[in-house]
């Protein structure tokens, strides 16, 4: 049921190969090769996950990512040939949840896709507080003074992970494992970028964060409630 | 030993070691220059004297430096000295000329005056004699003498009366041998002290001939007048009785001397002005030349510092302007060339980057296809199945090679960015070691970690440090021949270090630097079998450099090797030493040395005798290396940056404290590379591939 994947890639061979692999893993892939048509296809397909190549004809992947993120919290995994910090960070900042650098192994890709999809399984009802925020885990909502704050699923998971153990300092590696579902070491830049994005949404002053606090040299922890 | 020459010759490390020596030499050259002619050799014996010389020399040092560095000063001083000597020479010549001119006239006038005087005296004597002869031929001698005395007095008076103040007259009777003067005492007009004024030598010459003789003298007066310079002319004349006497004319030269001193004073004043003005002129002229030169120097410096848009100001059309134009043209061409090169290298970088990116998309497809095939290989016949395996394996290798190439091109392009934050190296080491465990198990190797009791924190890029350490650890495991691998951590001063020690084949001489070369393989035939990109250690070295740290290798043939990563505790802080000595304490030499120390009793390191020049690494028990194993002192013998390995030479007293040792032999001890590690070496290369696959 959970398995519609929209593949946005202009390389037909790669797209076809991705299709083979995804189908083999039980997903339902659909394809679009042009950045301009990506958004329309997204609305039409209503995928559970988007695989997005960064280099596209027409609108580039960053732009497409922004557009999709503007109207949906659907997980986006970027495919990129560039692993340089700037490229990755720009991609993540535009709203992607995760990225995977070409060339990748099919298993790795599938693992990441599953990790992104798995988290949406129904959670137990739970109320958490972090700073002046109230988190309804089951209802998937974050409120400040009764005012809802829109977060992507990933950002929500990140916040929940921190809020569940406010006494604990999370290293980036631990967060990667808990939030992204990576068991092996991955790029900690993922964490940095998403913490920034989360702060820009939940902090009153993102320059002086109170909800997600940096512990220098170690990682992050939830601010005092 | 065959390795000896090879050990020090190749690679950067060889030249590097020379450098301190060279500097020292030049230093002493300066020293010699500074001392100038001071007798240094003789001074060396006595410390007191040496101190004194130093004390004398110290205030001169700034002056000497100014002299060396300031061409304007040099030219002005030279001009002053030269014009001074020219003016002096000129002055002497002019004064000589003037004096001659003045005296010539005076002498001529005096001579004619004197000649007239002599003639008159002779005539008078003759006439007096004839009168006397006629009148009183029978007169007594005494009367005659009386007459002569009177006559002589008259003569002097009359002669001198003509030139009151212009000259004086002196008569002297010949100093006859019997002392008899015949009653004719000396007479002098104008209060002249005749005995002082008439030089003895002149008197003798007058005695000797009948012609007039002249000389310069000073007139002394009996009446208290100041003595004066004078010309004296004397002649022997006969008195009325026919006896010779000496008649002298003395012409005072007071006037001439006054004129001369006036001329001298004028000349001196003028000369002084000329010298000073010449100095000033030289200063101005030199300044005209030196100012543009200095400007050019300053601008050249700024150009070389990268400010390529700097230009000289050019005005006029003279040589200086030409210099400026040529300079500017040069700068412009340089700028052009540099920007061309920059463009070129940017294009090339883009090209490399584009190529590897373009390669990646099809490679991804191939990779996925290969994996699908690989997964389905059980259904294939054996040949196809094996082919599928090979395909998948080699794709792995291809990928890691591509990744490494891209990484290296990033370093080459200067595009590698350091994301430094305080990290605990123990964490990184733990992660790396646990990652390498499976491989270690396969090889039967145990990985031990030392020095992880306290935190070892440094500002570093965790991703890069991890990559470096993984490379080192995997290399060590692969080449450790199943023996232990020791990972040691230490922090001291402003540095932290991780050393990875293995006890495998070790490194051949010279290989300690070459292991860091790209695609370098000690034994190409063997390297192929394990595969590896050949770029692992190069990337590791670049990673270390990016941190401002060092990555160095040490190894001895058959004794294993040690790779040491040293990082500054805070970014931007220059490294001065490493907390871990590059050569491990348990190197063969180290072990041999401790034996030696024990043998010599008391374990006193300092007493270990210095071994003669037999210093190949394979030989020679010597004292334990200074700094010991975990002793957290800085190891200043470490060379920055590249992979140069440092091994103290046998000839150097090994027990000297590290600091002292560094100053003494940092330049000379290095590069005693152990032989035979070649196989080890290749192995290293192969592992790199492994190391990177994990990345």
- List chain A residues with CB under 8 Å of B401: none
Name which of A25, A103, A195 to mutate to probe chain B: the one with the most chain B Cβ atoms within 10 A of its Cβ: A103
**CA B85 from chain center: how many Å?**
32
Residue of B341, B680, B666 whose CA lies nearest to B526: B680
Whether B665 has a pLDDT exceeding 60, the answer reads no
Give phi and psi for A136, each to the nearest 5. -105, 105
H-run or E-run covering B122? helix B71-135
Residues B127 and B228 sit within 8 Å (Cβ to Cβ): no
How far from B433 is each of A173, B462, B487, CA to CA, in Å?
Answer: 17, 15, 9
B431 to chain A: nearest residue by CA?
A: A185
Architecture of domain B319-411: Orthogonal Bundle (1.10)
What pLDDT score was predicted for residue B524?
Answer: 52
Q: Which residue has the higher pLDDT, A13 or A90?
A: A13
What pLDDT score was predicted for residue B683?
Answer: 40
Q: Does A105 touch chain B (CB under 8 A)?
A: yes
Residue of B622, B558, B563 whose CA lies nearest to B592: B622
CB-CB under 8 Å, B371 with A106 = yes
Mean pLDDT of the B588-594 span: 59
**DSSP letter, residue B439:** H
Task: Return the CA Rg of chain A.
Answer: 17
Identify any residues that bridge with A49 across adjacent strands, giving them in sequence order. Answer: A5
- List chain A residues with CB under 8 Å of B368: 14, 17-18, 20-21, 105-106
Euclidean distance between CA atoms A87 and B543, whole angstroms: 20
Residues B597 and B605 sit within 8 Å (Cβ to Cβ): yes
B353 to chain A: nearest residue by CA?
A: A82
The residue extents of the domains of chain A are 4-118, 127-222
For residue range B538-559, list pLDDT tens digits in order: 899 999 988 888 899 988 888 8
Name which of A106, A192, A220 to mutate to probe chain B: the one with the most chain B Cβ atoms within 10 A of its Cβ: A106
Lowest-confidence segment of B112-121, B351-360, B419-428 by average pLDDT: B351-360
Name which of A102, A110, A190 to mutate to probe chain B: the one with the most chain B Cβ atoms within 10 A of its Cβ: A102
**How long a stretch of residues is chain A?**
225
Q: Does B419 touch chain A (CB under 8 A)?
A: yes
- Asked if the domains at A4-118 and A127-222 fall in one CATH topology, the answer is no
Residues A91 and A99 sit within 8 Å (Cβ to Cβ): yes
Q: Where are the beta strands (DSSP E) in B337-460?
A: 421-424, 447-450, 457-460
What pLDDT score was predicted for residue B465?
Answer: 92
Euclidean distance between CA atoms B684 and B695, whole angstroms: 17
Euclidean distance between CA atoms B372 and B380, whole angstroms: 13
Under the banding of pLDDT at 50, 70 and 90, the label for residue B497 is: very high
Q: Does B394 touch chain A (CB under 8 A)?
A: no
Q: Does B431 touch chain A (CB under 8 A)?
A: yes
Euclidean distance between CA atoms B544 and B643, whole angstroms: 10
Identify any residues that bridge with A204 across adjacent strands, giving them in sequence order. Answer: none
Q: Which fold has domain A127-222?
A: Arc Repressor Mutant, subunit A (1.10.10)
Q: Does A85 touch chain B (CB under 8 A)?
A: yes
For residue range B124-163, list pLDDT tens digits in order: 888 877 776 555 544 555 555 567 777 777 777 777 776 6
Q: Where are the beta strands (DSSP E) in A137-178?
A: 141-144, 147-149, 170-171
Tokens 């913490």 belong to residue: A195
The mean pLDDT of chain B is: 73
Name which of B353, B365, B405 to mutate to probe chain A: the one with the most chain A Cβ atoms within 10 A of its Cβ: B365
How far from A161 is each of A207, B15, B99, CA to CA, in Å?
Answer: 22, 56, 114
Q: What is the ipTM of this complex?
A: 0.75
Give phi and psi for B86, each to the nearest 5. -65, -45
| Of A11, A21, A85, Cβ closest to residue B361 | A11
Euclidean distance between CA atoms A70 and B132, whole angstroms: 159
CB contact residues (below 8 A), chain A span 146-205, against chain B:
185, 187-188
Mean pLDDT of the B238-257 span: 81
For residue range B60-69, list pLDDT tens digits in order: 888 888 888 8
CB-CB under 8 Å, B362 with A17 = no
Query: Nearest C-alpha of chain B: how many angstroms from A121?
Result: 29
Euclidean distance between CA atoms A217 and B220, whole angstroms: 106
Whether B595 has a pLDDT exceeding 50, the answer reads no
Count of CB atoms within 10 A of residue B173's CB?
A: 20
Mean pLDDT of the B335-351 span: 84
Instruction: Tally A–B CB contacts below 8 A.
Output: 63
- List chain A residues with CB under 8 Å of B369: 17
What CATH class does B92-260 carry?
alpha beta
Q: Does B63 touch chain A (CB under 8 A)?
A: no
| Of A13, A81, A188, Cβ closest to residue B365 | A13
Give phi and psi for A202, each to the nearest 5. -100, -20
Euclidean distance between CA atoms A46 and A6, whole angstroms: 8
Residues B403 and B441 sit within 8 Å (Cβ to Cβ): no
Count of CB atoms within 10 A of residue B92's CB?
A: 11
Residue of B433, B429, B460 whose CA lies nearest to B446: B433
| Of B368, B410, B424, Cβ closest to residue A106 | B368
CB-CB under 8 Å, B463 with A13 = no
Query: Nearest C-alpha of chain A: how many angstroms from B416?
Result: 9
3-state SS, residue B236: strand
- List chain A residues with CB under 8 Å of B423: 217
| Of B364, B372, B417, Cβ closest to residue A103 | B364
The residue extents of the domains of chain B are 92-260, 319-411, 417-693
Whether A184 has a pLDDT exceeding 50, the answer reads yes
| Of B360, B368, B410, Cβ closest to residue A17 | B368
A184 to chain B: nearest residue by CA?
A: B435
CB contact residues (below 8 A), chain A span 40-59, against chain B:
none
The model carries a pTM of 0.51
Q: Which residue has the higher pLDDT, B691 or A76?
A: A76
Q: Which residue has the higher pLDDT, B249 or B41?
A: B249
Euclidean distance between CA atoms B292 and B295, whole angstroms: 5
For residue range B442-458, list pLDDT tens digits in order: 888 899 999 888 888 88
CB-CB under 8 Å, A24 with B361 = no
Task: Please give the share of chain A, as a percent, with pLDDT higher than 90.
Answer: 12
Q: Which fold has domain B417-693?
A: Heat Shock Protein 90 (3.30.565)
Architecture of domain A4-118: 3-Layer(aba) Sandwich (3.40)
Residue of B441, B434, B548, B532 whose CA lies nearest to B487: B434
Euclidean distance between CA atoms A81 and A54, whole angstroms: 8
Query: Nearest C-alpha of chain B: how many angstroms from A61?
Result: 15
CB contact residues (below 8 A), chain A span 106-125, against chain B:
106-107
Under the banding of pLDDT at 50, 70 and 90, the label for residue B399 is: confident
Q: Does B463 touch chain A (CB under 8 A)?
A: yes
| Of B357, B362, B424, Cβ closest to residue A82 | B357
For residue range A119-151, list pLDDT tens digits in order: 655 556 677 877 788 888 877 788 888 888 888
What pLDDT score was predicted for residue A134?
Answer: 84
Residues B43 and B31 sit within 8 Å (Cβ to Cβ): no
């Amino acid at each position: 049921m959970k398995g519609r994947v929209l593949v946005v890639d202009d390389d037909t061979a790669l797209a076809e190969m991705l299709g083979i692999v995804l189908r083999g893993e039980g997903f339902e892939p659909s394809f679009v090769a042009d950045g301009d048509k990506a958004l329309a296809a997204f609305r039409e397909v209503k995928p559970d996950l988007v695989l997005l190549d960064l280099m596209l004809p027409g609108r580039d992947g960053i732009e497409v990512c922004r557009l999709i993120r503007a109207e949906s919290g659907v997980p986006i995994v970027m495919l990129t040939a560039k692993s340089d910090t700037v490229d990755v960070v720009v991609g993540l900042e535009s709203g992607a949840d995760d990225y995977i650098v070409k060339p990748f192994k099919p298993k790795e890709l599938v693992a990441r896709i599953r990790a992104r999809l798995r988290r949406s399984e129904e959670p137990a009802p739970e109320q958490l507080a972090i700073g002046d925020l109230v988190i309804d885990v089951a209802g998937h909502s974050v409120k400040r003074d009764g005012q809802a704050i829109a977060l992507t699923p990933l950002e929500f998971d990140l916040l929940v992970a921190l809020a569940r153990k406010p006494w604990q300092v999370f290293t980036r590696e631990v967060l990667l494992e808990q939030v992204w579902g990576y068991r092996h070491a991955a790029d900690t830049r993922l964490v940095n970028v998403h913490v920034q994005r989360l702060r820009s949404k939940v902090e009153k002053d993102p320059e002086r964060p109170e909800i997600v606090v940096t512990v220098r040299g170690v990682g992050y922890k939830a601010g005092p409630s | 030993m065959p390795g000896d020459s090879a050990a020090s010759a190749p690679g950067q490390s060889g030249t590097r070691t020379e450098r301190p020596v060279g500097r020292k030499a030049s230093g002493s050259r300066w020293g010699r220059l500074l001392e100038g002619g001071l007798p240094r050799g003789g001074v060396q014996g006595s410390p007191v004297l040496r101190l004194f010389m130093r004390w004398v020399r110290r205030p001169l040092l700034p002056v000497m430096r100014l002299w060396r560095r300031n061409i304007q000063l040099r030219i002005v001083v030279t001009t002053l000295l030269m014009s001074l000597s020219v003016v002096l020479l000129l002055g002497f010549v002019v004064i000589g000329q003037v004096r001659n001119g003045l005296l010539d006239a005076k002498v001529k006038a005096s001579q004619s005056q004197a000649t007239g005087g002599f003639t008159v005296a002779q005539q008078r004597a003759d006439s007096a004699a004839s009168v006397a002869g006629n009148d009183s031929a029978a007169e007594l001698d005494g009367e005659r003498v009386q007459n002569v005395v009177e006559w002589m007095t008259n003569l002097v008076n009359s002669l001198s009366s003509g030139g009151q103040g212009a000259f004086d007259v002196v008569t002297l009777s010949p100093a006859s041998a019997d002392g008899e003067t015949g009653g004719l005492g000396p007479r002098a007009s104008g209060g002249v002290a005749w005995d002082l004024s008439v030089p003895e030598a002149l008197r003798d010459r007058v005695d000797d001939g009948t012609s007039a003789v002249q000389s310069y003298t000073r007139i002394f007066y009996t009446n208290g007048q100041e003595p004066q310079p004078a010309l004296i002319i004397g002649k022997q004349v006969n008195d009325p009785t026919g006896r010779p006497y000496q008649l002298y004319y003395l012409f005072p030269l007071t006037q001439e001397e006054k004129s001369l001193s006036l001329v001298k004073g004028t000349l001196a004043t003028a000369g002084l002005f000329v010298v000073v003005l010449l100095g000033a002129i030289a200063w101005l002229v030199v300044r005209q030349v030196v100012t543009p030169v200095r400007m050019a120097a300053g601008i050249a410096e700024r150009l070389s510092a990268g400010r390529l848009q700097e230009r000289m100001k050019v005005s006029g059309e003279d040589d200086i302007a030409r210099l400026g134009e040529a300079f500017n043209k040069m700068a412009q061409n340089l700028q052009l060339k540099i920007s061309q090169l920059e463009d070129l290298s940017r294009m090339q970088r883009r090209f490399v980057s584009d190529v590897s990116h373009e390669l990646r998309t099809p490679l991804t497809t191939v990779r996925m296809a290969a994996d699908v095939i690989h997964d389905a290989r059980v259904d294939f016949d054996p040949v196809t199945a094996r082919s599928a395996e090979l395909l998948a394996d080699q794709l792995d290798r291809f990928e890691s090679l591509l990744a490494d190439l891209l990484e290296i091109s990033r370093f080459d392009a200067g595009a590698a960015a350091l994301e430094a934050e305080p990290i605990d190296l123990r964490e990184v080491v733990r992660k790396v070691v646990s990652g390498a465990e499976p491989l270690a198990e396969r090889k039967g190797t145990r990985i031990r970690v030392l020095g992880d009791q306290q935190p070892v924190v440094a500002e570093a890029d965790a991703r890069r440090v991890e990559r470096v350490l993984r490379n080192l650890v995997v290399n060590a495991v692969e080449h450790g021949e199943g023996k232990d691998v020791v990972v040691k951590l230490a922090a001291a001063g402003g540095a932290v270090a991780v050393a990875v020690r293995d006890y495998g084949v070790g490194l051949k001489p010279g290989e300690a630097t070459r292991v860091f070369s790209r695609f370098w393989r000690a034994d190409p035939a063997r390297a192929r079998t394990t595969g590896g990109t050949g770029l692992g250690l190069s990337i590791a070295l670049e990673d270390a450099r990016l941190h401002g740290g060092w990555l160095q290798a040490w190894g001895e043939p058959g004794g294993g090797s040690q790779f040491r990563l040293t990082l500054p505790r805070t970014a931007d802080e220059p490294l001065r030493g490493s907390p871990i000595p590059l050569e491990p304490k348990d190197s063969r030499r180290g072990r041999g040395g401790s034996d030696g120390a024990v043998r010599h009793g008391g374990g006193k390191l300092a007493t270990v005798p210095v071994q003669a020049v037999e210093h190949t690494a394979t030989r020679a028990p010597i004292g334990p290396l200074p700094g010991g194993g975990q002793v957290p002192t800085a190891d200043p013998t470490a060379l920055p940056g590249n992979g140069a390995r440092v091994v103290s030479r046998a000839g150097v007293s090994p027990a000297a404290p590290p600091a002292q040792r560094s100053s003494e032999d940092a330049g000379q001890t290095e590069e005693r590379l152990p032989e035979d590690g070649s196989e080890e070496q290749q192995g290293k290369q192969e592992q790199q591939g492994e190391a990177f696959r994990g990345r």
